[in-house]
């Protein structure tokens, strides 16, 4: 494929992964067809698979019988030693395989055992990826920058002289944290060995001390990042996170606007966003009457927020979208969560002692004051036990619902909120237990699946009328 691109003076692909991903996203089907992609069938997913096939190996055989190509290097092993030997065999034959791989996945063979062990968030308890040693390259550190994450954590990042690693050009590499930076003693001007951890994330492995410049000095945060700079950058990052799609979802409050609001000192914390008025926005470059009105309207619209989204917006260390949902489902009310002990927090799925302490300490830190300010400034948190918000004995009460397609008047989160307020449980995938599929414009494969499973389909036009039943 790359040779053909070279002959046509077109841009080449960095690696096979990029070529495959780019081809699948290609809107022109004729171009995609010309790229002659191939694939290996990897797994089958449907309810009752453990009874139909019993094991991973048997499912592979079934796929072969249907005519699908599968990975022929799969084996069923019964000891740790045999797994080690298999891994070494794959490593030695890696370059001779007709496809690229970055490691070996070890799974429990029996589907019943897989189901029994389950998953943690999106990671299965019944499988582990044993990665190959990553390819490395040598390059120079041109600079070290300090980035601020959504929780305020500082991450040093090395700016590198561009270098190719595993077919990908690398110009930046994470140094993870300041303890790691100090341990590796990475300095500006150093010659370093770089790899892509898991063949994905660029990182510095080691420093070639022999090539270090004589005038080299250890990196010091105090000389590169003042306290005032840190506080301002932290504030901007937190507001951007809290305004994001899966938090308050404030349309129009992007990076540039947040930077300008903080720079002009129109907001000093996220709660100030809900006290903004149009005359203040007119002071910002690029804002006129209409754009100011639209942003204020968007802020007002976002002032009602579900508990799980609110928890995610707070930027608590270790609390992502999935865990925020679990916490909301467990404690129902914000007040219950704020007063919860570490022991009570540890009873929530995916919460260990470290994250439990992180949540517990957050609600007892000065940061928690912002919660009260948000409420004072008009934010209403829709809690899971709001009696007025949940309609009992309605059409969707206690029903399992899946959504597909586009809706002109609603975004996906609005529809989910409506259904949940009417007592429904909204799921991401269909099964025989699904009660309804809500179908908008341009439905995907879920519509076909619903028909196969005899799941009742509710068209967009009938959706609102069903809510009133």
pLDDT of 389 strictly over 60: no
Tell me the pLDDT band of 4, cut-offs 50, 70 and 90. confident
pLDDT in tens, 70-83: 988 899 999 999 99
pLDDT in tens, 99-155: 888 889 999 999 889 888 887 766 788 999 998 887 789 999 999 988 877 666 778
pLDDT in tens, 45-56: 777 776 778 898
The CATH H-level (homologous superfamily) assignment of domain 306-382 is: 5' to 3' exonuclease, C-terminal subdomain (1.10.150.20)
For 430, counting Cβ atoms within 10 Å of its Cβ (0-12 exposed, 13-18 middle, 19+ buried), the class is: buried
Cβ–Cβ < 8 Å for 460, 405: yes
Radius of gyration of the chain (CA): 27
Give the span between the Cα atoms of 401 and 12, in whole angstroms.
44
Fold exhibited by the domain 400-467 = Rossmann fold (3.40.50)
pLDDT in tens, 393-445: 778 887 888 888 887 767 776 787 788 778 787 776 677 878 899 988 888 78
Task: Name the residue with tokens 């660029």.
Answer: 202
pLDDT in tens, 218-234: 988 655 556 666 778 88
Question: What residue spans define the domains of the chain?
Answer: 2-34, 49-131, 136-223, 227-302, 306-382, 400-467
Domains 227-302 and 306-382 share a fold: yes
* 384 or 182, greater pLDDT: 182
Which structure tokens are listed for 47?
Answer: 């309810």
pLDDT of 388 strictly over 60: no
Cβ–Cβ < 8 Å for 405, 441: yes
Which structure tokens are listed for 257?
Answer: 């606007």
- 227-302 domain in CATH 1.10.3720.10? no
The CATH number of 136-223 is which of 1.20.1070.10, 2.40.50.140, 1.10.1060.10, 3.30.70.260? 2.40.50.140
Cα 453 to chain center, whole Å?
A: 30
The top-scoring range by mean pLDDT among 226-235, 261-270, 383-392, 408-417 is: 261-270
pLDDT in tens, 276-321: 999 999 988 889 999 999 999 999 999 999 999 999 999 898 898 8
The neighbour count for residue 345, using CB atoms within 10 Å, is 21
pLDDT in tens, 328-379: 988 888 888 988 999 999 888 778 888 999 999 999 887 666 788 898 888 9
């Amino acid at each position: 494929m790359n040779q053909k691109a070279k002959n046509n003076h077109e841009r080449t692909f960095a690696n096979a992964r990029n070529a495959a991903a780019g081809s699948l996203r290609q809107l022109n089907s004729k171009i995609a067809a010309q790229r002659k992609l191939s694939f290996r069938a990897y797994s089958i997913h449907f309810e009752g698979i453990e009874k139909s096939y019993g094991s991973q190996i048997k499912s592979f055989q079934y796929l072969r019988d249907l005519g699908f190509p599968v990975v022929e290097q799969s084996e069923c092993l019964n000891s740790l030693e045999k797994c080690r030997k298999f891994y070494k065999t794959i490593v030695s034959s890696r370059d001779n395989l007709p496809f690229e791989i970055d490691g070996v996945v070890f799974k429990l063979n029996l589907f019943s055992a897989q189901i029994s062990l389950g998953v943690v968030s999106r990671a299965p308890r019944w499988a582990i990826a044993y990665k190959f040693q990553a390819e490395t390259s040598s390059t120079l550190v041109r600079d070290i920058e300090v980035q601020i994450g959504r929780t305020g954590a500082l991450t040093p990042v090395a700016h590198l002289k561009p270098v190719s690693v595993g077919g990908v050009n690398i110009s930046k590499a994470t140094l993870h944290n300041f303890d790691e930076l100090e341990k590796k003693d990475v300095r500006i001007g150093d010659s370093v060995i770089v790899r892509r951890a898991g063949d994905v994330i660029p990182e510095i492995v080691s420093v070639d001390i022999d090539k270090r410049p004589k005038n080299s000095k250890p990196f010091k945060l105090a000389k590169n990042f003042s306290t005032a700079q840190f506080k301002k950058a932290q504030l901007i990052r937190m507001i951007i996170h809290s305004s994001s799609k899966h938090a308050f979802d404030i349309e129009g409050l992007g990076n540039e606007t947040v930077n300008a609001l903080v720079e002009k000192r129109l907001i000093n914390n996220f709660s100030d966003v809900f006290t903004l008025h149009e005359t203040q926005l007119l002071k910002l470059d690029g804002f006129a009457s209409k754009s100011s009105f639209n942003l204020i309207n968007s802020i007002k619209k976002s002032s009602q927020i579900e508990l799980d989204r609110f928890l995610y917006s707070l930027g608590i260390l270790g609390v992502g979208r999935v865990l925020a949902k679990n916490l909301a489902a467990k404690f129902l009310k914000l007040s219950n969560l704020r007063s919860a002990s570490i022991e009570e927090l540890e009873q929530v799925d995916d919460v260990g002692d470290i994250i439990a302490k992180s949540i517990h300490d957050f609600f007892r830190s000065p940061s928690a004051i912002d919660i009260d300010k948000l409420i004072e400034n008009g934010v209403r948190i829709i809690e899971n036990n709001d009696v007025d918000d949940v309609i009992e004995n309605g059409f969707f009460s206690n029903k399992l619902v899946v959504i597909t397609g586009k809706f002109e008047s609603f975004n996906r989160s609005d529809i989910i909120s409506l259904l949940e307020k009417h007592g429904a449980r909204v799921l991401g995938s269909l099964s025989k237990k699904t009660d309804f599929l809500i179908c908008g414009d341009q439905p995907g494969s879920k519509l076909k699946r619903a028909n196969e499973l005899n799941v009742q389909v509710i068209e967009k036009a009938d959706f609102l009328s069903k809510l009133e039943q």
